[in-house]
């Protein structure tokens, strides 16, 4: 089948021990086949994006953390939330590659095949929150697409749950993430992310980023995003 055989398995964001008992971050399998998102995201892009780009972030993160025992044992969310406290000598590497690992691990999960759960609109609590905070799904979608189109250079568009439980759309450069202190937009817990690096779309869409973004809406896994929303709002509620 189309799966990458060499990818080690990883459950959620947790750390697993490899054979020599050294803690390391692992490349998660995709939750679907490489060709499952066709015709919106093509098989070759998915293979390269996961097997080369995401894998490289994981490898470089592990390399950066080697010899930094206090940080090597932390899970990926803990690492990026506290990235400004990481030793300066590895801080940029952890920001870029730890961010890359977190962001891509989320990205694969917010996608689903169009004939198996992808696309449409969210239901229940998330739909109500989108109506409350954006005035409707169409306005939210246009706002998010605009953030993705206008992000200059490489980066991400985000739907985030802020600490007060409200939703916010923003974008970030490079592999930055709304969980990082100093994030330029509204900080919070990202529940939906869209990769707008050229490596995510160039093979199929060349320079036509807006076409890639339009295709993305056909394969959003709203059930997963809604689960993340509900988990994040429970945390936000507990903090208030
Ligand atoms: Mn990417």
Looking at the chain, the whole-number percentage of residues with pLDDT higher than 90 is 84
pLDDT at 183: 85
In angstroms, the first-to-last Cα distance of the chain is 48
pTM: 0.89
> Distance, CA 54 to ligand 1 centroid (Å)?
7
Cα separation of 153 and 211, whole Å?
A: 16
Cα separation of 95 and 59, whole Å?
A: 14
pLDDT in tens, 19-72: 443 569 999 999 999 999 999 999 999 999 999 999 999 999 999 999 999 999
Give 64's contacts (C-beta < 8 A, 6+ positions apart). 90, 93, 94, 97
> Distance, CA 202 to ligand 1 centroid (Å)?
11
> Distance, CA 107 to ligand 1 centroid (Å)?
9
Query: Which DSSP string corresponds to 81-116?
Result: HTGGGS-HHHHHHIIIIIHHHHHHHHHHHTB--TTT
> Distance, CA 161 to ligand 1 centroid (Å)?
22
Average pLDDT over residues 158-166: 96
Sheet holding 155-161, edge to edge: 167-173, 155-161, 189-195
pLDDT at 226: 97
**Dihedral over Cα of 123, 131, 213, 163: its sign:** negative
Q: Contacts for 196-205 with beta carbons within 8 Å, 24 or more apart?
A: 196/148, 196/151, 196/154, 196/155, 196/156, 196/157, 196/171, 197/154, 197/155, 198/154, 199/48, 199/49, 199/53, 200/45, 200/49, 201/45, 202/45, 203/42, 203/44, 203/45, 203/48, 204/41, 204/42, 204/45
Say if residue 15's pLDDT is above 60.
no
pLDDT at 239: 59
> Distance, CA 104 to ligand 1 centroid (Å)?
6
pLDDT in tens, 119-156: 999 988 999 999 999 999 999 999 999 999 999 999 99
> Distance, CA 239 to ligand 1 centroid (Å)?
32
Treating both helix axes as pointing N-terminal to C-terminal, what angle do 99-109 and 55-65 enclose, rounded to 10 degrees?
Answer: 150
> Distance, CA 128 to ligand 1 centroid (Å)?
30
> Distance, CA 103 to ligand 1 centroid (Å)?
8
> Distance, CA 135 to ligand 1 centroid (Å)?
30
Lowest mean pLDDT among 14-18, 24-28, 59-63, 184-188: 14-18
- Residues 208 and 133: beta-carbon distance below 8 Å: no
> Distance, CA 195 to ligand 1 centroid (Å)?
6
Neighbours of 127 (CB within 10 A): 17
pLDDT at 234: 85
């Amino acid at each position: 089948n189309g799966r990458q055989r060499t990818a080690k398995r990883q459950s959620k964001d947790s750390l697993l021990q490899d054979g020599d008992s050294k803690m390391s971050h692992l490349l998660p399998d995709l939750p679907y086949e490489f060709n499952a998102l066709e015709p919106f995201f093509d098989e070759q892009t998915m293979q390269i994006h996961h097997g080369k780009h995401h894998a490289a972030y994981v490898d470089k993160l592990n390399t950066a953390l080697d010899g930094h025992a206090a940080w090597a044992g932390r899970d990926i969310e803990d690492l990026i939330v506290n990235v400004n406290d990481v030793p300066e000598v590895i801080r940029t590497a952890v920001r870029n590659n730890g961010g890359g690992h977190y962001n891509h691990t989320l990205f694969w999960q917010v996608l689903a095949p169009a004939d198996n759960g992808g696309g449409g609109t969210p239901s229940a609590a998330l739909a109500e929150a989108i109506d409350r905070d954006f005035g409707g799904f169409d306005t939210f979608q246009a706002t998010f697409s605009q953030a993705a189109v206008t992000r200059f250079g490489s980066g991400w568009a985000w739907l985030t749950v802020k600490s007060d439980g409200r939703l916010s759309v923003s974008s970030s450069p490079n592999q930055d993430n709304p969980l990082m202190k100093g994030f330029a937009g509204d900080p919070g817990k990202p529940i939906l992310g869209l990769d707008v690096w050229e490596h995510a779309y160039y093979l199929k869409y060349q320079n036509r980023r807006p076409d890639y973004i339009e295709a993305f809406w056909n394969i959003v896994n709203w059930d997963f995003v809604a689960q993340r929303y509900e988990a994040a709002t429970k945390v936000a509620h507990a903090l208030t």
